[in-house]
Amino acid sequence: MSKGINSHNIMRLALGEQWQALPVALQAHYQDEDNRDIGELTIEYPAWMQLFLNLLHIMGALLNRNVRHVPTVVHKTMDGERQIWQRTITLDENKNVYFKSHWVYAGQNKLVEYVNPMLGLCMSVNVVGECLHYTGEYYVLRLGKLCIPIPEWLMLGHTTIVEQQSADSRFKMDFKLQHPLFGQVYRYSGEFTTVRI
């Protein structure tokens, strides 16, 4: 096992002993070697969310397109103790949309995904059966060394992600945002294969 996996594999740190129960396709997805997820993505949200999503996308958060089965590549690299995710969604031959974030380990079974230098989402992770479950805990506003937790209900609502192996080298993922007043306000789902670069 490489030194990188022992010291910098963010998901392995968060899952601890649960890492061994993670199916091989998901272990490949969360490796700390440079890699790409290649597949298709579907993004769904109600029309009234469009202006809000346009603003969030300018801030670096989420994708502001209602699309089905569009080609998507997620390029992942390690940068010290954080992992950089660069998503490229191809809408047509001449139009790509990008969504970049970085992940850090936050202690115990928690991770934080930052979509810009100031805004992130803290999530806990657990293996349930043969699936990886993320549960949103709170949003994070980072001001220098100060990190201020913001309850989910004050922003977009509760985050859940479920990932499961669909074949030896493929996995499915399903991300949902559920607001306590407005119901499901955002969802993206897809199926991917991870390849090492």
69, pLDDT greater than 70: yes
Q: Using CA atoms, how far apart are residues 29 and 192, in angstroms rounded to an integer?
A: 9
Whole-number pLDDT of residue 107: 95
pLDDT-derived band at 168, boundaries 50, 70, 90: confident
47, pLDDT greater than 80: yes
Can you give 20-73 as a three-state secondary structure string?
HHCCHHHHHHCCCCCEEEEEEEEEECCHHHHHHHHHHHHCCCCCCCCEEEEEEE
Chain-centroid distance of CA 98 in Å reads 14
Rg over alpha carbons for the chain, rounded to the nearest Å, is: 16
pLDDT digit string, tens, across residues 1-24:
333 444 579 999 999 999 999 999
pLDDT digit string, tens, across residues 109-129:
999 999 999 999 999 999 999
Q: Using CA atoms, how far apart are residues 39 and 188, in angstroms rounded to an integer?
A: 13
Q: Using CA atoms, how far apart are residues 174 and 195, in angstroms rounded to an integer?
A: 20
CA end-to-end distance (rounded Å), the chain:
18
pLDDT digit string, tens, across residues 151-161:
999 999 999 99
Domain count, the chain: 1
Domain of 179, in residue numbers: 3-196
Cβ pair 90, 71 in contact under 8 A: yes
Q: pTM to 2 decimals? A: 0.92
In this structure, are strands 82-92 and 158-167 parallel, antiparallel, or unpaired? unpaired
Whole-number pLDDT of residue 167: 85
170, pLDDT greater than 60: yes
CATH of the domain at 141: 2.40.128.20
Cβ pair 63, 43 in contact under 8 A: yes
